[in-house]
Amino acid sequence: MQDPSSPERFIAAVFDANEHADYESLERFVDGTLGPSDAKRLEQHADICQSCAAEIDDLRSFAAGFSRKNTHPSFPWFAFAAAVALIAFAALLFVGHRTGSVLEVRTSRVSVRDANGVIALDRAGHVSGVSAPWQPVVAQVLSTGHFGSIPSTLTGPAVRRDVLRGDTATATVRILHPAEEVIAEDAPAFEWAANDRHALFIVEVFDSEFRTIIQSPKMKATRWVPPRALPRGQELRWQVTQIARDHRITAPAPPEPPARFFVVDSEAAKQIDSARAANSHLILAAVYARSGMRDAAVAELDQLARANPRSPLIAQLLRSLKK
């Protein structure tokens, strides 16, 4: 019966694309003593993991050089390599302690290169690279590969716009933002596109019962920021009316759905402000996702994907947001 603590059993149990192989397994792979099935899995993993592939190349180079110079064949080359690695690791710890820098520890379970350096989760569940308040959030994301439950704040089917005012027969106005999204700002910029450069526009914002919350004055611009905050924690709708030569056109026009959006509540807004101050794409993506702001979370993950182009973890997080 195979020893449960053996490297082969360890790899079969927990080794996947988001993790790195331990040093002993890498040694045995290069030395040819790793089991065939686990050797194949490690080889497939090295095809997508640049870190483990580099470790294998380094070990092979070391083994080749040592075998040419070794005059004592009974002494295993990997034992000498392990001793060298231990000395090097101790030196790295000393330098890291002296400089306070974040070390890229290759024995980490998973790591991500972020705006401020490397964020890592080791096999014991310890997080490095972020401040203490954010460590539980980061640990959950890195260990599971998803952001947890994402609230659906825009619920139910879209309501037709027939109840709103205006002649919609020949609409030439198109809503741009915000529409079918969750936002953090309680005084967002309303934007739309129009063909008539000489027209005037009026923006109206409603609650879910189509009661008017605020209305803009007539203006020529195709962008308007309300002068006061809108209610938080509820679904809102808006429309823009174009006035040209005493003719009114309202958008969105039936049968298009209403332009709906949701302003996060005060607690979520505070968390978002705090996450923005942390200067971390991963933290922001997590907080945005948990606030229902999928588009904003995807934008942060896109930034991470550029810094971690071969990371299966980032790809998995992106897929979790698009379900």
Of 63, 3, 9, 64, nearest to 41 by C-alpha is: 9
> Which CATH number is associated with domain 161-263?
2.60.40.10
pLDDT at 152: 73
pLDDT at 244: 87
What confidence tens digit (pLDDT) does each residue in 223-278 have?
A: 999 999 999 999 999 999 999 887 888 999 877 777 999 999 999 999 999 999 99
What confidence tens digit (pLDDT) does each residue in 25-60 have?
A: 777 788 888 888 888 887 888 787 776 777 787 677
Of 202, 192, 204, 126, nearest to 163 by C-alpha is: 204
DSSP state at residue 219: B
For 243, the 3-state DSSP assignment is strand
Our CA dihedral for 216, 221, 227, 230, rounded to 10 degrees, sits at 70
Dist CA 281 CA 300 (whole Å): 5
Most trustworthy range by pLDDT among 9-23, 47-61, 93-107, 185-199 = 185-199
All structural domains of the chain with their residue ranges? 7-99, 110-151+291-321, 161-263
DSSP state at residue 231: P
> Right CATH number for 7-99 from 1.10.3470, 3.20.20, 1.10.10, 3.40.50?
1.10.10
pTM of the model: 0.61
Of 251, 308, 320, 260, nearest to 118 by C-alpha is: 308
Q: How are the residues of the chain apportioned to helix, strand and coil, as percentages rounded to the nearest 5?
A: 40, 20, 40
User: What letter represents residue 58's amino acid?
Assistant: D
